[in-house]
Amino acid sequence: MDQNDIKNMLDSLADFIPQASLWEQGFFESVQHQFGKYHTLSEPQVKTIQKISEKFSPEAIKEREAWYASFDEDRAEILRVCAHYYMHTGYFRDICDEINLNEKFVPTPKQYKSMCENKYAAKVMTAHRAEPKFPVGSLVTLRHAKARSIEYLVGNVGWNTPKTQRVEINVLVLSTTEPIVSAAVGGKRYKCMPIGGTKSFCCDEKDLKKMKRGKK
């Protein structure tokens, strides 16, 4: 690509670069300065500028406009649910922060596909939309492993058992719509309160089981 072609490409992109990402804006400013001083760019630099320019072709602009126009509440809900999940994994941190700061944030099609159209997101949404096995107001029992992890919450009612002894903690279900943090089966999220306790906590549906009723 000769100097005139590079100059024309940079001039054409200049009008659109404010809509690009911060990294792309910084890269553009750097190569624009370099070209103005030395009248040349390296082949990798040219390829990167071409790639950025493709985002602002008439076809790409039309496709993006259609995407933003079609971004409805259903997709917005999926985005929010997935963002809560990824906040606990460390992935997509920048996008998750943007979603939390701006409730009107709309990701690019590529961002949405990466975050919300993968096998983990599908499992999270399945858990989110599933009917709870234990409705609000249910009395249930924590499975042993989870009971051990939150036993300190019910210390005020007298539990202080050896680690080798099985702990039975019965709880009241307060909510079945807490943000999902696990893509595992049974990942629907609950808020519960230990019977006789004063502190609520969250757990997954897989951590709960039916409470055994005493014989009359």
pLDDT per residue of the chain (216 residues) written in tens, 0 to 9: 788 889 999 998 998 888 888 899 999 999 999 999 989 999 999 999 999 998 888 888 898 889 999 999 999 999 999 999 999 898 999 899 999 888 889 998 889 999 999 999 999 999 999 999 999 999 999 887 777 666 655 554 444 555 555 567 899 999 999 999 999 999 999 999 988 888 899 999 999 999 887 654
User: Is residue 185 helix, strand or coil?
Assistant: coil
Taking the CA of residue 110 as centre, how many other CA atoms within 13 Å lie in the half-sphere pointing to its CB? 2
- With a CB cutoff of 8 Å and minimum separation 6, the contacts of 74 are none
| pLDDT (0 to 100) of residue 36 | 92
| pLDDT (0 to 100) of residue 140 | 95
Structure tokens at 110: 């590529």
- With a CB cutoff of 8 Å and minimum separation 6, the contacts of 77 are none
> In the chain, what are the domain boundaries?
3-56, 73-129, 139-210
| pLDDT (0 to 100) of residue 163 | 52
pTM over 0.85: no
| pLDDT (0 to 100) of residue 90 | 86
Instruction: Scan for tokens 């709880």, then name that residue.
Output: 171
First and final CA of the chain: distance in angstroms? 89
